Structure 1
């Protein structure tokens, strides 16, 4: 198993991509800390996953250094180590650019950008102190590159996460800590199905720009996360990997099966 004996921490792990990644890490032998703002839901998921999982409830829109340190300490205190960190927690809000609320813009930056900065920083400090050659993975998006005019704060945060990943990677590789990012396309999570894919028109728009002709599955993103966290990716540093069904390389729309 790729992650036998390792400890993984995953934010935004009560559902969707975060939960799928946590489950994959467990399947590959890791013990996992699930972090989410939904206290009861993340508790239930951790209990369902068994003795090799625990949980921490945190509102990452209120993140500061102390909270980040407490989140990381949960892994060390409970399982004795922290080897893998996946900063997946993220929120989105859509509105016309000229009407986008300032407070929502700031909240999205705190969850999507500030939390991976602070949690990554806190985890790196512990890894360095403990001599752990760990892996940190940040969750970016195809929206780091593609311009989505109705989701300005989300797109800006994911572009910043891509660059944060590169800076962290260069700073931390001297300690044996690899930092990379994931940039998923449109994945069939509960959040996506209730927002991006909420109408037939939106479904058509997304699929017409997705060469593979379907949405991605959370398990397909989790498999890439597991790879990046493993020794199989030992020479991959500072990269953003895009499990997107070909979305970013497409320069025209494709027919959609009705």
Structure 2
């Protein structure tokens, strides 16, 4: 897992202060005191943690399978690094990362297939709807593949549904059969609702560990910061109609610490 935490820093975004300013302009007419709702934090180790978006305090959490599982051993010319945020694949070649023109979900969609250089691809996906009581975190897998003993119980009036997709991909080099690579990638974004445009906060995460800080989008004030014990992959806003996209900015650890210090020093 540490292996992926270090590699995750390669996929981070910068331009922090410009992002803060643009978010502030978009929120000029938003009342920052409004109830921002429940945030869901998805971490690399598979935990889904619900917190109060305004205070950062825990409400509940549950454990799923890790977001990403793949070999860590290096195979010369046949080592792939997936981005845990979206499944984008990178090929390790001569010590460098080369971005490939597809993601794990895209490969699974077109599989089985064969590339021009003799690589065989085979994949499958499994979709599951999980029902959640947003106040307690009580959950039941309500709908999955026909082969399982899933069922659709009568929902509590406040129940919301989270869509989860598990992708499995296998690659084999037909020229050298000993070169094989397998990965499992879990995605919660394929069933997301649109971004909540009136959301009053902006979130920054550290790409090297589980730290997050939340800033008031209208004032630039640091509201809270905390650590989750594993790299934060994605964040969502849980509302009665389901999960909404929640933009966040991942930055390097040193930059994260400097930003916290600067925001903390603001009178």
TM range (shorter): under 0.3
Q: Work out which structure has the larger RCO, using CA pairs closer than 8 Å and 6 or more positions apart in sequence.
A: 2
| Greater per-residue strand proportion | 2
Rg bigger for which structure? Answer: 2
| Greater per-residue helix proportion | 1
TM-score by length of 2: 0.25
TM-score by length of 1: 0.26
